[in-house]
Amino acid sequence: MPEVNGLKMPAKASEKEMKNIHIDPVPDDQKVEVALQHLDEMRKKFRSFVMAMESCVKCGACAENCHTYLGTKDPNNIPTNRAELIRKIYKRYFTLEGRWFGKLVGAEDLTLDVLEQWYSYFYQCNECRRCAMSCPFGIDTCEVTFVGRQILHWLGMVPKLHANVGAAMEKAGNHTGLPKPSLIDTLEFLSEEIQEEFGVEVNFPVDKPDSDILYIPSSADFLLNPYTLMGAGMFFTYIGANWTIPSTVAEAGNFGLLFDQRFTQRHNVTRLLDASQKLGIKKIVWGECGHGWRAAKMYIPTLADRPVKWPIVHLHDETSYYVNTNQLKLDPGKNNHPTTLHDPCNYGRACGMTKQLRDVLSACVTDFREMTPNQEKNFCCGGGSAILFDDPEMYDLRIKFSAKKAEQVRATGVGANGDGYLCAPCSICKAQLYPMVEEHKLGVEVKGLIDLLGKALVWK
């Protein structure tokens, strides 16, 4: 699969895998017609999409603000050209100028080859929105990627990775497919680890009724980022919170945002609201997951099909509050490493969370150095929207997409002695950066932010 017509692309989900996420793949001879129907629906619905189709002046300002173009120099990775893959079809079928002047204005017929192009390039977009920030009009190519992936989903063209995560969520309530007993086993193991390493007693209550706080961890934290989960547990214990983790939605991520903003995305939301009601909680606190936080903070209000009565905040909205009000005793000496911070795109450009991260990090480490550009201007790690594919061609692209990040980290000098920390408080950033710091030989270890806070807490 990794190459079709010379296009790099991730392996597609099989028919059976598509059926698991409730889609009957459309046969090839009907794909074009069905795609056009969906495109027509989408353009009538989403103004953000229409504006990207109709008001770009092709100035090229977005080109060097997209790390995928910087890393590959592939013209189709220039944001406006990525959008052009749909725009040329849009013009041909839905505008007068496209119907009358065709090629002159860049209109083109939809074919199966074009659909393969969509599949290739919409899964080379990290949905990081740096293009929206740099465009003189604010044209958001991420919105075009959303529309492209949504239509591809309805046609039955979804990467295996995304389809299987969607299916696992529905079956188990988390992306990793962990059943409740495994969640509890892992949490008990983490309690023991904390006892051994930090000498404190931390319990991870699961599905505890009448809790005040519902904590939504990323399921990747159970396997890949244990210190993130341990850090959160230590924080809640330290402040004496009455908290719990819901087994039915032990997942901060929401892949629906990334490939199916209808059923798949709403399904997670429904699970969350059910759990909140059942456990009688008062506030929902989100774990370290960038796209998941965007999906929760910005999309739950429009996706929930009933009133949402619980405030939803991010863990670091809270940690920063307690740090800034001096309620936590922290010893930065416990994280005595040169540290830099990678701002996850979804925090910086979609959720307004940049200051909080700095407030917490600078209280937890001895030597914090900003990378440039930072905050909302930061570049993506190259993993955004979970294009964490392992097919060799796609893995090679991940290395190229993270080239800009590597350059930024190197410029801070934190890895000069091989003992630097790269703080990246997002599950997808972590999954991308764990291998990438090796590929680019950056001399840094990737850490979550709550990991460092957990370590810095002074208990007595």
Number of residues that bind another protein (CB under 8 A): 88
Instruction: Say which entry of ligand HEM, another protein, ligand SF4, none residue 328 contacts (CB below 5 to 8 A, set by partner kind).
Output: another protein
Among 117, 120, 141, 247, binds ligand SF4 (CB under 6 A): 141
Measured from the CB atom, is 154 or 421 closer to another protein? 154
Residues ≥6 apart with Cβ < 8 Å to 46: 143, 147
Helix axes 112-122, 79-94, angle to 10 degrees: 150
416 binds ligand SF4 (CB under 6 A): no
Number of residues that bind ligand SF4 (CB under 6 A): 26
Q: Mask 48-87, x = binds ligand SF4 (CB under 6 A)?
A: --------xxxxxxx---x-x----------xx-x-----
- Pairwise CA distance, residues 97 & 71, whole Å: 35
Q: State in angstroms the smallest separation of the CB of 442 from another protein.
A: 26
Burial of 19 (0-12, 13-18, 19+ CB in 10 A): middle
Whats the size of the chain, residue-wise? 460
Among ligand SF4, ligand HEM, another protein, none, what binds residue 178 when CB lies within 5 to 8 Å by partner kind? none
* Nearest-approach distance from CB 290 to another protein, in angstroms: 13
- CA torsion, points 144, 262, 1, 127, in degrees to nearest 10? 40
Nearer to ligand SF4, 60 or 413 (CB): 60
Footprint (CB under 8 A) of another protein, residues 291-320: 298-299, 301-303, 311-313, 317-318, 320
The nearest distance, CB 28 to another protein, in angstroms, is 29
CA 445/CA 365 separation, integer angstroms: 14
DSSP code, position 152: H
9's CB contacts (< 8 A; 6+ apart) are: 1, 2, 3, 116, 119, 120, 123, 394
Residue closer to ligand HEM (CB basis): 84 or 343: 84
Tokens of 334: 């416990």
In the complex, least distance from residue 59 CB atom to ligand HEM, rounded to whole angstroms:
4
Mode of pairing for the β-strands spanning 312-314 and 283-286: parallel
Neighbours of 10 (CB within 10 A): 24
Binding site for ligand SF4 (CB under 6 A): 56-62, 66, 68, 79-80, 82, 125-131, 135, 137, 139, 141-142, 145, 380
